[in-house]
Amino acid sequence: MTAAAGAPAPVDNPGGVPLLRAHDIHAYYGHIHALQGITLDVFPGEIVTLLGANGAGKTTTLRTISGLMHPRTGTITFDGTDITHVPAHRLVTRGVGHAPEGRRIFGRMTVLENLQMGAYTRHNKAELEMDFDRVFALFPRLRERSSQAGGTLSGGEQQMLAIGRALMTRPKLLLLDEPSMGLSPILVEQIFDVIRDIHAQGTTVLVVEQNALMALGVAHRGYILQTGRIVLGDTAANLRQNPEVQKAYLGG
């Protein structure tokens, strides 16, 4: 299998110091051992994807990285600092943005108010105006609907808003959880084009995605999760050519 059109160029120094490192992460929901020794790295300037079936632990991995839950054992470092037990609202100010599964927008608030909520910790008006312009350039439809209640948007527009709200935190690392879920093929293409644009503007991205073909088309590297464990990690090009990955995730 050949590399997908538009696949990103390799990162120059994937063996350097990672922006994010999760090491031997064990996380639980009550007595359920959801993550069983997850170890992964994301280097500055990369797009990395997490692939796996429902229940594999992908969303739990992102929730643990973003501080919405904390591991029982293991360590997470971000930008050289231990963030294992730092709460989510503090990680936002350190540069971790999260567009969660299911979008989780504020349905009664307008599009503009949702974006303002993403920027609630920031006070530099000039930078805020730049970031509003950035989001509206990425998602022109949001500008058209800026005074419309978030809950009245289509599914695709709500996904745009969730990503836009995360970008308003001005993240160094953007976590995207199932950005294509429930979207039409045309909108899926648009969302992944936007992910490429966000990366090109200098943001490192970690994306959970069930559409493995699209995810591996934009990613530099990927990890395969099964029942709370990483069973394979490789370049996106190698994963696309792996017979087991093709059979399980690419319809080969």
**pLDDT tens, N- to C-terminus, the chain (252 residues):** 333 334 454 454 555 899 999 999 999 999 999 999 999 999 999 999 999 998 999 999 999 999 999 999 999 999 999 999 999 999 999 999 999 876 678 778 999 999 988 887 777 888 888 889 999 999 999 999 898 898 888 888 898 899 999 999 999 999 999 998 888 888 889 889 999 999 999 999 999 998 899 999 999 999 999 999 999 999 999 999 999 999 988 876
Contacts of 125 (CB under 8 A, 6+ apart): none
* Per-residue CA distances from 180 to 42, 126, 176, 193, 198 (Å): 21, 32, 10, 12, 16
Q: Which two tokens stand for residue 51?
A: 């692939």
* Per-residue CA distances from 169 to 14, 120, 125 (Å): 26, 8, 13
Q: Which two tokens stand for residue 192?
A: 């992944």
Please tell me the predicted confidence (pLDDT) of residue 150: 86
d(CA 76, CA 82): 6
Maximum alpha-carbon separation in the chain: 51
Please tell me the predicted confidence (pLDDT) of residue 2: 32
The reported pTM is: 0.88
Fold (topology level) of 20-249: Rossmann fold (3.40.50)
> Strand, helix or coil at 176?
strand
Q: Compute the C-alpha angle 196/173/7, nearest 5°.
A: 25
Q: What is the phi/psi pair of residue 235, to 5°?
A: -65, 155
- What is the Cβ-side half-sphere exposure of residue 251, based on CA atoms within 13 angstroms? 5
Please tell me the predicted confidence (pLDDT) of residue 151: 84
Please tell me the predicted confidence (pLDDT) of residue 125: 82
